[in-house]
Amino acid sequence: MRKEYLLTPGPSQVPADVLLKLAEPVYHHRTPRFKEMYKSLTEKLQKVFMSSGDIIIFASSGTGAMEASVVNIVPRGKKALCIAGGKFGERWSEICDAFGIAQVRMDVEWGKAADPKAVADALASDPDIVAVYTTLVETSTGVENPIRDIGAVVAATGAVLVVDGVSGAGACEMRVDDWNVDILVVGSQKALMLPPGLAVLTVSAKARALLDSVDNPPAYYFNLRKAVASAAKTDTPYTPPLTLMEALLVAADALVEEGMENVFARHRKYAEAAVAGLKALGLKVYPERPAAALTAVEAPAGIDAEKIRKIAKDKYGAAIAGGQEQLKGKLLRMAHMGYVGPMDIVIGLAALEMALADMGVDVTPGSGVAAAEAVLRSG
Ligand code: PMP
C-alpha cells in the first residue's frame, strides 16, 4: 500500500465531491439543463475572479487559453508586450513567435517580480503595443507579480492587460475588475481544485472591443470572438466539456461559500507557514516576492534538489515539485493552493525534513514543522 500526498503546483488535490460529480451520467449540451448550469457557473466564477466580464471556457489546458488571448488580440502591425520572468512568462513570448506576432519582450531576472514602472516606460515608448502579457504567479520561480500596480499602469493607456493566472487565481488575491485585468487566464488543475482539462478566461469590455477589431485571427477552435458571442447566449461554439464544467461548478460553489476574502487569507496563511517552516530547515526562499499559492526554496549548497524530491516522494509519499529549466536540481517548490488544509503544510515540511536528514543535511527534527505550527495556530 502506498499513500501519496500531491503537493505539486498543478495538478493539485481534488475534493471528493468534485470527483464524484465527474462520475455522473453525461447529458446533451444543447439543452436548457446545460444553459442553466453554464449560467450558474458563469455567475459563480465571476464572484471567484471578481469580474463582471464574460466567462469563457475551453476544453484545453491553460496554455490553450494563453494562445487564444494572444492570437485574437494582437493584429498584424501591432505589438504585444511580453513580461518574461520565468518559464511561464517566457511562454507569452514563445506564443507570439509561433504565430509571427510582433512583440516587445521585457526580460525580468528569474526570481524577481515585474516592475510596473518599466511597463509604463515600455508602453510610453511604443504606441504600437496593444496588449501587455504578464503572470500572476510565476510557478517556475514562486514569484507573485504586482498585478494591481501593473493594472493601474495599463488602464491609463489604450492597451489591454492579459494575466496568466493559471496558477494562483482562486487562491491568491486577484480582483479582476478592481485591478483592471482585461483577460485573466486560468487552468482547472490548480487553485480551482479540478483535474486538468479546462481553461477559463474572463474577458472585459475593453478586451471585447479589441477582439471585435481583429479580423481573421489565426484561430478556429480558439476563436475568442466566436466564444464570446456564444457565451452571450449562454452557449459554446463547439461541444463543451460539460462534465468538467459540472465539476467546476461544485468547486466554484465551495469557493463562493467560503468567501473569496477568506480564501485569500487562508492561502496567505499557508504561505506564511510554509516560508517559516522551510526557513527553519535552513532553506533559502528563492522569489523576492513569494506567492500565496506555492513556496519555492533553494536546495542546500551542494545538494541536488531532485534527490531530496525523490526521497520525499518514494520513501515518504509526498510529491513536491523541483526546479524547471535552469533551476532544475536547484529548487524545491511546495504548493499550497486549492484543496489544501493546514495539515498539507505539515506533511510537506515533515517529508522534506526527513528527506534532508536522510541525505545527511544537519536539520533539527521537528524544527520545520514547529515553525509552521506556530503560524498555523496563530490568529
Ligand atoms: N502558466 C502558469 C503560471 C503555469 O503554472 C502553468 C502550468 N504549470 C501554465 C501556464 C501552463 O498551463 P497548462 O499546463 O495547463 O497548459
Q: What is the DSSP letter of 4?
A: -
- Asked if 9 and 170 touch (Cβ cutoff 8 Å), the reply is no
What's the mean pLDDT in 122-131?
A: 98
Are 201 and 68 within 8 A, CB to CB?
Answer: yes
Q: pLDDT digit string (tens) for 285-301?
A: 999 999 999 999 999 99
Say yes or no: CB of residue 187 within 6 Å of ligand 1. yes
Pick among 3.40.640.10, 3.30.413.10, 3.40.50.300, 2.40.110.10: CATH of 16-258: 3.40.640.10
**CA dist list (Å): 332 to 49, 135, 165, 312:** 29, 20, 21, 11
Listed in order, the ranges of the chain carrying CATH 3.40.640.10 are: 16-258
Q: Per the structure block, which three cell numbers stand in for 69?
A: 488571448
CA 44 to chain centre: 18
**Integer Cα distance of 60 and 117 in angstroms:** 34
34 lines ligand 1 (CB under 6 A): no
pLDDT digits (tens, 9 = 90+) for 316-340: 999 999 999 999 999 999 999 999 9
Average pLDDT over residues 234-257: 98
Q: How far is the CA of 166 from the centre of ligand 1 (A)?
A: 5
* Alpha-carbon span 192 to 84, nearest angstrom: 24
In the three-class reduction of DSSP (H, G, I as helix; E, B as strand; rest coil), residue 332 is classed as strand
The amino acid present at 313, given as its one-letter code, is: K
Which residue from 91, 162, 166 has its CB within 8 A of the most atoms of ligand 1, so it is best to mutate? Answer: 166
Give the model confidence (pLDDT) of 133-158 as tens digits: 999 999 999 999 999 999 999 999 99
Please state whether 106 falls in left (phi above 0), alpha (psi between -120 and 50) or beta. beta
CATH hierarchy code of domain 5-10+259-377: 3.90.1150.10
Phi, psi dihedrals of residue 186, rounded to the nearest 5°: -135, 150
Strands 129-135 and 160-164: parallel
* Residues 320/295, Cβ–Cβ less than 8 Å: no
Share of the chain above pLDDT 90, in %: 99
Pairing of β 199-203 and β 54-58: antiparallel
Q: Which residue has the cell 499513500?
A: 3
- Ligand 1 and 234: CB distance under 6 A: no
At residue 313, the pLDDT reads 98
Write phi, then psi, for 297 (nearest 5 degrees).
Answer: -130, 155
Task: Kindly give the distance from the C-alpha atom of residue 140 to the centroid of ligand 1, in angstroms, as a whole number.
Answer: 10
Closest residue by Cα to residue 366 from 344, 349, 379: 349
3 state DSSP class of 335: strand
Within 10 Å of residue 282's Cβ, how many Cβ atoms? 15
Q: Render pLDDT for 5-49 as a digit per residue (tens, 0 to 9).
A: 999 999 999 999 999 999 999 999 999 999 999 999 999 999 999
As a whole number, mean pLDDT of residues 250-276 equals 98
What are the residue ranges of CATH 3.90.1150.10 in the chain? 5-10+259-377
| 57: phi then psi, degrees, rounded to nearest 5 | -125, 130
